[in-house]
């Protein structure tokens, strides 16, 4: 068993090195410098070690003086004070009247631990006028330190101790520091050194035997109430196995009552205290298996009394065995519950097609209880036949020992089923039967039939759409061309005979026919978008965007437009359709920034809801967000043709293309400040950079 005080802590004093919890040592000082040489690094290191540090000052240094010295020596002193990690008190106020030093030490330690510190580091300066050459700490005081997470430095005035006094202090503490000229030295008494070595060897031998026991071991003292009835017990010693098997640490429970270490043990139905008390008082040993509520474990325990009033226990953890037994008892019930909860129809059958067991779903379909199914032949109960039908997958499994799957229509069970038969084998790998599982797929078959009909309907609709597109393309274009041509002829051949009003009317006829022609082209384009088969490949979106931007610049060489296209953007898409998207979005941005001298158009990518979203952003006319719902509807425009010409089909086309790619498209804008159109695609592989087109 490793105790807490074996945890090494930095002392801050190079001559000493690391110290274990529970260490206390002496320090002889002649001047303030002697005191500060050791005490300041000692306390500074304690603060850095996350320890509650307490300096009990003597007459040599006042509390204010101690505070100033520490503030000068420790850069973060104020922060430690704000945390409550450093306490400077005069010896007169170190502990309350009537309170023992040991009690004061434990009280300070408890406060430190509750505030999140690792332990207590104590520095106590004995006043220079303290007379005597004996030990400063009593046995109880030293024990209070050695049993807890405490390290203590006791500073003694050097001029009050002769050589014998120095040795006495060193023996009381284990060692002490004293200045010899310009250096510090450690002094120990010979008796302390010899006794410490002998005790160490004896403890190591006993500890080795004690610690290597496979079973847990604990020694206790029984506690009686005023009537002599056992009411508690105290932990005196435990071994490593005890800690491992219970999860309790020796340093946390030794010296403590069971009701403190194991809250609720006095209410445990097992009556541990009463049972152990009987052993301690009568000397009669006992053995039993029992569950400990405070520890939530099962133990096999043997208890005996070495002498009256005391008892020892050896025990082993049997929790896993008890759990296995409990699980074994639960297995049948849980398996039955699971077996009967499965909606599939399950039957376990032998090689002769006899039913050995069915689940509730199968029994309900057959109209009998599960027990009544046992012994029935499957072909009789399910199919109403004298022998298994030729398509029976169970027959195939019985013949070749393999799993077989088949779709079967069975009116007696009320529909279509997907049947699987999986072979069962005994310990010698010999076939004994099969597990027959029938999944009702009646609704699925109906859905498949409906889907086939819908596919036929869509194919018919596509054929009608093709016919309509042909009609629009050929039958409507001819009259429009005639209207435009004759209007142009009148304007050119009879210009001198027409007044201004007639010329304006004829020009309006030409504009309208051309607009109608463009509208027909856009509708046909939208139709092709819907019907065209997707040919997905890796497309360099940056390259496509730069190409579109260059073409737009060439259509209006007089404009100065700053195109900012992020480089290295790739996506899996149909190259022609994704070009159509960028032509529409960049074309709109180019059109709606025509009135700005500082026109700027961006094409880039950003993350949106865990996806990669592309965007086209401009600083053009923008739009009112309350009309955003009209943007992606056919023939819905937010600007007049005089402001910005268009057909109202472009954004509808964009939306159709993006949806066919499994993506989304949306827009944001503000009147006079521009618009941003964003879209996502289904499968994407993207890198990014920035380049100006």
CATH of the domain at 548: 3.30.565.10
CATH of the domain at 359: 3.30.450.20
Contact of 51 with 117, CB cutoff 8 Å = yes
Average pLDDT value for residue range 530-547: 84
121 falls within a domain: yes
Please determine, for residue 524, whether its predicted confidence score (pLDDT) is greater than 80: no
396: buried, middle or exposed (CB in 10 Å: 19+, 13-18, 0-12)? middle
* 283 and 136 housed in the same domain: no
* 186 and 282 housed in the same domain: no
* 20 and 166 housed in the same domain: yes
Q: What is the pLDDT of residue 178?
A: 93
CA dist 345 and 333 (Å) reads: 19
* 270 and 374 housed in the same domain: no
* 413 and 427 housed in the same domain: yes
* 465 and 608 housed in the same domain: no
Please report the beta strands in 507-650, taking only residues with DSSP state E, as ranges in sequence order.
536-540, 562-565, 570-574, 600-608, 611-618
Give the end of a domain, one of 158, 191, 224: 191
* 585 and 666 housed in the same domain: yes
* 483 and 536 housed in the same domain: no
Residue 527 pLDDT grade (very low, low, confident, very high; cuts 50, 70, 90): low
Please determine, for residue 310, whether its predicted confidence score (pLDDT) is greater than 90: no
* 491 and 385 housed in the same domain: no
Please determine, for residue 70, whether its predicted confidence score (pLDDT) is greater than 90: yes
State how beta strands 345-350 and 674-680 pair: unpaired
Mean pLDDT of the chain: 81
Q: What is the pLDDT of residue 53?
A: 95
pLDDT tens-digit profile of 634-677?
A: 655 655 556 556 556 777 888 888 888 888 889 888 888 888 99
Enumerate residues 6+ apart whose C-beta is below 8 A from 222.
230, 232, 233, 276, 277, 280, 281, 309, 310, 311
* 186 and 245 housed in the same domain: no
581 falls within a domain: yes
C-alpha distances out from residue 195 to 147, 190, 198, Å: 19, 8, 5
Q: What is the pLDDT of residue 511?
A: 63
* Dihedral angle, C-alpha 648, 650, 656, 661, nearest 10 °: -160
Q: Which of 290-294, 528-532, 574-578, 674-678 has the lowest mean pLDDT?
A: 528-532
> Would you list the DSSP string of 246-293?
H---HHHHTTSBHHHHSTTGGG-TT-HHHHHHHHHHH---EEEEEEET
pLDDT tens-digit profile of 487-518?
A: 777 777 777 877 888 877 877 777 666 656 65
Number of domains in the chain: 5
CA dist 211 and 3 (Å) reads: 12
206 falls within a domain: no
Please determine, for residue 522, whether its predicted confidence score (pLDDT) is greater than 60: no
Two tokens, residue 652: 């509808």
335 falls within a domain: no
Q: What is the pLDDT of residue 545?
A: 92
Contact of 354 with 376, CB cutoff 8 Å = yes
Q: What is the pLDDT of residue 688?
A: 39
Residue 611 lies in domain: 532-692
* Dihedral angle, C-alpha 632, 635, 639, 640, nearest 10 °: 170
330 falls within a domain: no
Give the end of a domain, one of 528, 546, 577: 528
202 falls within a domain: no
Contact of 347 with 436, CB cutoff 8 Å = yes
Give the end of a domain, one of 513, 528, 543: 528
Tokens 């009690």 correspond to what residue?
A: 103
pLDDT tens-digit profile of 162-173?
A: 887 888 888 888
* 552 and 678 housed in the same domain: yes
682 falls within a domain: yes
Higher pLDDT, 463 or 68: 68
CATH of the domain at 97: 3.40.50.300
208 falls within a domain: no
pLDDT tens-digit profile of 350-406?
A: 888 888 888 888 888 888 888 888 888 887 877 778 788 877 888 888 888 888 888
Residue 11, Ramachandran bin (φ over 0: left; ψ between -120 and 50: alpha; else beta) = alpha
Is 0.85 topped by the overall pTM?
A: no
* 311 and 348 housed in the same domain: no
Terminal-to-terminal C-alpha distance of the chain = 75
Q: What is the pLDDT of residue 134?
A: 43
């Amino acid at each position: 068993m490793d105790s807490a005080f074996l945890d090494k802590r930095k002392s801050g004093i190079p001559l000493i090195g690391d110290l274990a919890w529970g260490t206390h040592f002496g320090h002889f000082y002649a001047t303030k410098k002697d005191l500060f040489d050791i005490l300041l690094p000692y306390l500074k290191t304690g603060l850095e070690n996350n320890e509650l540090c307490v300096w009990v000052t003597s007459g040599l240094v006042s509390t204010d003086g101690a505070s100033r010295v520490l503030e000068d020596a420790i850069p973060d002193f104020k922060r430690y004070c704000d945390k409550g990690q450093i306490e400077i008190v005069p010896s007169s106020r170190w502990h309350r009247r009537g309170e023992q030093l040991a009690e004061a030490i434990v009280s300070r330690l408890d406060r430190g631990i509750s505030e999140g510190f690792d332990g207590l580091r104590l520095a106590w300066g004995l006043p220079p006028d303290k007379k005597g050459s004996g030990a400063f700490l009593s046995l109880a005081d030293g024990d209070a330190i050695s049993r807890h997470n405490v390290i203590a430095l006791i500073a003694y005035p050097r001029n009050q101790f002769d050589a014998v006094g120095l040795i006495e202090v060193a023996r009381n503490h284990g060692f002490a520091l004293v200045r010899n000229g310009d250096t510090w030295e450690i002094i120990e008494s010979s008796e302390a050194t010899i006794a410490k070595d002998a005790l160490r060897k004896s403890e190591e031998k006993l500890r080795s035997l004690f610690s290597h026991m496979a079973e847990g071991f604990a020694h206790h003292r029984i506690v009686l109430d005023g009537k002599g009835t056992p009411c508690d017990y105290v932990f005196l010693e435990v071994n490593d196995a005890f800690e491992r098997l219970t999860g309790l640490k020796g340093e946390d429970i030794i010296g403590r009552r069971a009701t403190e270490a194991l809250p609720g043990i006095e209410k445990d139905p097992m009556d541990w205290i009463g049972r152990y008390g009987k052993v301690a008082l009568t000397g009669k040993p006992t053995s039993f298996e029992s569950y400990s509520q405070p520890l939530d474990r099962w133990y096999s325990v043997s208890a005996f009394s070495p002498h009256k009033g005391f008892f020892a226990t050896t025990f082993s953890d049997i929790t896993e065995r008890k759990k296995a037994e409990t699980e074994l008892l639960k297995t049948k019930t849980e398996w039955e519950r699971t077996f009967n909860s499965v909606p599939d129809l399950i039957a376990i059958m032998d090689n002769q097609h006899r039913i050995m067991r069915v689940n509730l779903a199968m029994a309900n379909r057959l109209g009998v209880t599960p027990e009544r199914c046992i012994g029935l032949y499957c072909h009789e109960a399910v199919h109403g036949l004298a022998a298994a039908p030729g398509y029976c997958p169970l027959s195939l499994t019985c013949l070749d020992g393999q799993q077989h799957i088949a779709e079967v229509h069975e009116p007696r069970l009320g529909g279509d089923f997907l049947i699987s038969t999986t072979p069962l084998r005994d310990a010698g790998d010999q076939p004994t039967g099969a597990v027959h599982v029938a999944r009702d797929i009646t609704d699925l078959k109906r859905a498949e039939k409906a889907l086939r009909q819908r596919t036929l309907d869509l194919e018919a609709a596509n054929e009608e759409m093709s016919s309509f597109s042909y009609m629009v393309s050929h039958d409507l274009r001819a009259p429009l061309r005639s209207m435009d041509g004759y209007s142009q002829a009148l304007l050119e051949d009879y210009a001198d005979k027409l007044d201004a009003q007639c010329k304006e009317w004829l020009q309006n006829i030409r504009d309208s026919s051309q607009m109608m022609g463009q509208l027909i082209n856009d509708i046909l384009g939208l139709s092709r978008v819907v019907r065209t088969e997707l040919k997905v490949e890796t497309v360099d979106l940056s390259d496509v965007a730069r190409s579109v931007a260059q073409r737009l610049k060439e259509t209006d060489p007089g404009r100065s437009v700053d195109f900012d296209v992020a480089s290295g953007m790739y996506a899996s898409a149909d190259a022609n359709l994704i070009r159509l998207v960028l032509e529409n979005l960049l074309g709109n941005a180019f059109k709606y920034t025509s009135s700005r001298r500082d026109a700027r158009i961006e094409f880039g990518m950003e993350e949106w809801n865990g996806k990669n979203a592309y965007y086209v952003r401009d600083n053009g006319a923008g739009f009112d967000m309350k009309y955003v719902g009209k943007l992606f509807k056919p023939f819905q425009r937010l600007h007049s043709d005089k402001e910005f010409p268009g057909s109202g089909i472009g954004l509808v086309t964009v939306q159709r293309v993006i949806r066919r790619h499994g993506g989304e498209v949306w827009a944001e804008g503000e009147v006079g400040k521009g618009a941003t159109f964003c879209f996502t695609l289904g499968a994407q592989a993207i890198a990014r950079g920035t380049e100006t087109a």
